[in-house]
Amino acid sequence: MNPMKKDKRFLCCMLALSALAPGHAFAQSTPSSVAGGWNYTLGVGAMRGPTYPGSGDTHTKGFPVLGATYGRFFAGAADVGVTVPVGIGYNLVQDQHWKVGIGVGYDIYSVRKESDNAAKLRGLGDIERTVRTSVFAKYSNGGMSLFGAVVSSAKGQGTQVKLGADAAHSITPSLIVNAGPSVTWANARSNQTFYGISAAQSANSGRSRYSPSAGVSDVTFSAGLTYLLSPSWSLGSRISVSYLPDTVSDSPIVDKDITTSYGVFTAYRF
């Protein structure tokens, strides 16, 4: 085990405050009658977290908050938790409790580049941005939600299955808090892409080969706070604590098996 990694028992002590997405809060305050027409969400946000999965270094990235829905069609991120890539999609089932749909998206940022840590990643190459397809489902009842998705890449980077739950509560009509866990299972190709070192990469970098098997690659607890300035404007914050199991955290390129990400956003819906 890499000596830089934190003791796993600290995981039980991690607490967080965050928002899953602007759409989650808006969904509680927007009349359902609006759902049949066009709805747009515009905003900006910033997130600080690991430079790449398992990195001991952190960086801050800005991101746009963009979304549009028309009936069962959507562009942006699907409102099913933090499981579906940004893109376009269609809800095959959409009613008071269920959303089941398909989507296709493209990575906004490269997951990992050699320049992220030249000393550790030299010779491993970049993980290319790619198109990702998804099949997802969400069940909601009151403030409780269960969600899941199967996400695959178009460049042979593997497949991930993501499951999670979320509980939301309105402290006041304008202040909403939510929290919940999620877990990601990845096949061997996916874990090899993000955490493995192939024979060619080993020869280029001088690092030992590492071939992780299929298994759980991430366990995350997120929580959030959203404040509705008006029926259209919102402010939010988010923090997530992620744990990387031994299957992937034993990789030579992983510094920490527990990492934290946090960010803020503002969004306008019309």
Q: What is the pTM of this model?
A: 0.81
Instruction: Read off the pLDDT of residues 87-125 as tens digits, 9 standing for 90 and up.
Output: 889 999 999 999 999 998 887 777 788 888 888 888 898
User: What would the pLDDT profile of 40-76 be if each residue is shown by its tens digit?
Assistant: 989 999 999 999 888 989 999 888 888 888 999 988 8
Beta strands in the chain (DSSP E): 38-50, 58-70, 73-76, 87-94, 98-106, 131-141, 144-153, 159-170, 175-186, 215-228, 233-243, 258-269
Q: How far apart are CA 258 and CA 12, in angstroms?
A: 11
Give the whole-angstrom CA distance, residue 88 versus residue 90: 7
Pairing of strands 38-50, 258-269: antiparallel
Q: Are 107 and 69 in contact (CB under 8 A)?
A: no
Residues 65, 69, 75, 78, Cα dihedral to 10°? 80
Q: pLDDT grade, residue 77 (50/70/90)?
A: low
Number of other CB atoms surrounding residue 263 within 10 Å: 21
**pLDDT confidence of residue 65:** 83
pLDDT tens readout for residues 21-39: 444 444 444 444 344 588 9
